[in-house]
A and B are shown apart, each in its own frame.
Chain A
Amino acid sequence: MLHGYGGYILRVDLETGHIRREKTDPKYMMNVIGGRGLNSTRLYDELRRDVDPLSPENMLLIGVGPLTGTLLPASAYTTISGKSPMTGILGDSAAGGFFGAELKQAGYDQVIITGKRDTPCYLLITNDNVEIRDASHLWGRDIWETTTALRKDLGDNAVQIAAIGPAGENLVKFATVACNNSRMFGRTGMGCLFGAKNLKAIAVRGKRRLTVADTLTYAKLCEKLETDIRHHPEYAQRHAMGSTLLMKALNGIGILPTRHFQEGVCDYVDDISGETLAKKYKVKNKSCFNCNIHCSRYFITPTHEGEGPEYETLCSYTSRLGNSDLEFALRMSTYLNRMGLDSLSSGETIGWAMECVQRGLITKEDLDGIDFTWGNTQTIEQILEMITHRRGIGDAFAEGTRSLARRFGKGTETYAFHVKGLDMICGDPRGIKAFGLCYAIASRGGDHLRAEPFFELTERYDEAEKRWGIREIADRLAVKGKAVLVEHTERQALLSDCLTMCKNIGLSMDLMNIDFASRLLTAGTGLRFTPERVDDALKGVIERDRLLNIDFGIKPEQDTLPERFRTEPLKEGASKGHTVPVEEMVREYYKLKGWDERGVPPAQSGKHA
């Protein structure tokens, strides 16, 4: 008997209505572990490479890790994957909450959705019973309304729902999927993929109990992780503010994106910080399934309430756009969550427009007469509404910054801060060199989570010496050794993603590694996941991701950063004078991977030359 795993893979063809349940194959899982590794490999094995992301043939995959839904704390994530409508390459996005555990308890490790329904539908999964149901009455409703309505229709408040909002229905390229109202599968436009399939939501109720192979050993390992979390030096801060603690932390080291990365220091940071948010608006902590940090927060302002926001949303709608009004940012956070828009990508389109207007590259007249001056809250609100419904100039914005800048031309492409079509996150790489490399090589585009080399921020010099023999790795401004760090943490990050575990714990807090994971996996699943086996699986997934992206047309020239971060030194703050020498870092990274100078893995270098 297969423990830990849900035990089944569910295949649903929305076009024919054909539903098939396959047994999870332990041999396959030993090579991919689960979650993102499983999804990526499924795409590699089964997806026709030249498929249009919005066509019925594109696959939509929902993967959950082998230990999610069990006793293991902080492993509540779910990964949604497919060919990204936003970037045209590998797309995936993960979110916490309660959806993943429920899907596992319903008995599934992965749901594979293909085809397109003629009319709006939702998928209802209750253990073995799977139905495609009509969702016409839900079309046009926002994510919160959809969740409430579905739970009411089904007469069961405990049903877990992943849904899209109007943005996904209108095929906004950076539309999100959400579970538990505010847990966003934010990046690479997985909500757009739902919309393209006329799939409004997936509702799951799992009434099984998950077993593990070696119960006592497993319980001890889980207890160890819990204790490590509880006694971690960052515990108190993370509990109080979650990721919003980064507002002041990144400002302190001069890398808080301000006015679209023109500055790394924001003089009104105290008005928009995680501390202020906690003090003025937080009413209690919120949490994902079975986590003992409870890092999320519920807030109430005079006009709005909701869960969150996380740092990326907070920064995207405050300093990055030159806005100092925290209450406004919280209101926008609830709007984005309801409509199903990615805060990073939507924020980047607006930041791009504001900088281009500042530089006189485009004018108010080009933008439907809307005044894109820094921090104009009325403009921000108006354009978000236009993006959601693809009205006027919002239609062009809804295609994402890369496409938007191509349309306007006139040098505006220089200010479109994306890598491979995915907009950059809120951390100026000029003061965190390993992150710079990570954005450049990340297999889904400009993203930190593919490697999250948080270690470089910790100043643990002796530990760096011990682990890699390079002290500089613990110095965020050093370049030396950063490729080594990223090559290492890229596997550690993937490990978290395969376990669908939280990367705050697995990576930033540095509490999960291959040895520990191998013990957990072995005790949990009963399969012999030796450390070597786990590491091989991770290396295999990274290589397949690269090959898949090469098939999708990625060129080594795209493993880079936007010009500003390579050539314009930061002007003030604790990272003053720094840029990212990304070319040399990428070259070293290829070498460490054993790839050729064009970034092609060896087995395939002949084929792709």
Chain B
Amino acid sequence: MIVVDAAVCSGCSRCEVACSFFHSGKVGRAGARIKVVKMEEIGIDYPVVCQHCIERYCLKCPENAIEIGALGQVIISPTLCTACGLCEALCPIGAIELFEEIPYVCDLCGGDPRCVKACTLNAIRYEPETTQAVALKPFKRKSRNRSPEEKRVQFALAASEPIRETWLSKRRA
């Protein structure tokens, strides 16, 4: 899976750009499967991407269009998918989002993630051996009826708390 170290992320969004460009030859955040949440007021930039969660909420797809690949990645069948949006609604962290009636979610670029290559700060790493390590249940309840962007912000805020604590203890001890 893709492992994020937001403590060193500068927020440059090169991961978004590389992702969008690799998948479509076009560039735009809407077409990226990794999205950086930028919170200028607390200095946090957090790339949010599918965490291959233990719960696999997206598998509740009513059309059975979603399966999990050998690398642990989410695979969506373009023929079975009806763009109902349930996977987007079920994902607690906003890692699946519909754009032009297609659900966009990280596919690990077939095992060679372009976002990892684009990141020059080592804030995003690919760890092929790590699968289903993250539990997203703690985020599930608060994510109801939220937009993908709002869910990403909630996740990033909570996940970056230890980073802020480290910074403050270092600079304000």
Please list the residues of chain A having a beta carbon within 8 angstroms of any beta carbon in chain B. 69-71, 73, 98, 105, 144, 147-148, 155-158, 180-182, 206-212, 215, 219, 230, 281, 283-292, 294, 296, 298, 300-302, 305-307
Contact = CB atoms under 8 A, between A and B. Distances in A.
B44 to A, nearest CB: 9
A300 B41 contact: no
Contacts of B152: 157
B24 to A, nearest CB: 6
8 contacts: A69-B27, A71-B21, A182-B40, A209-B26, A284-B9, A294-B121, A296-B10, A300-B172
A209 B172 contact: no
Interface string B29-41: 1110001011111
Interface in B20-76: 20-21, 24-31, 35, 37-41, 43, 45
A283 B150 contact: no
A285 B171 contact: no
Contact of B171 (A182, A230, A296, A300): A300
Contact of B38 (A69, A71, A180): A180
Q: Which 6 A-B pairs have the closest CB atoms?
A: A209-B28, A287-B12, A209-B26, A287-B10, A294-B10, A298-B43
Contacts of B99: 207
Best-buried of B37, B39, B120 by chain A (most CB within 10 Å): B120
Contacts of A208: 28, 30
A290 B41 contact: no
B8 interface: yes
Contacts of A73: 14
B170 A283 contact: yes
A206 to B, nearest CB: 7
Interface of B: 7-14, 17, 20-21, 24-31, 35, 37-41, 43, 45, 99, 120-121, 147, 149-150, 152-153, 167-168, 170-172
A290 B26 contact: no
Contacts of B170: 283
B149 A290 contact: no
A307 B28 contact: no
Given A180-B38, A219-B21, 20 more contacts: A69-B28, A73-B14, A148-B41, A157-B149, A181-B41, A182-B40, A207-B28, A207-B30, A284-B10, A285-B10, A286-B45, A287-B12, A289-B13, A290-B12, A300-B168, A300-B171, A301-B171, A302-B171, A302-B172, A307-B43
A209 B43 contact: no
Contacts of A290: 12-14, 17
Nearest to B20: A209
Contacts of A210: 26-28
A452 B30 CA distance: 36
Best-buried of B10, B38, B172 by chain A (most CB within 10 Å): B10
B7 A284 contact: yes
A207 B45 CA distance: 20
Nearest to B171: A300
A307 B17 contact: no
A285 B121 contact: yes
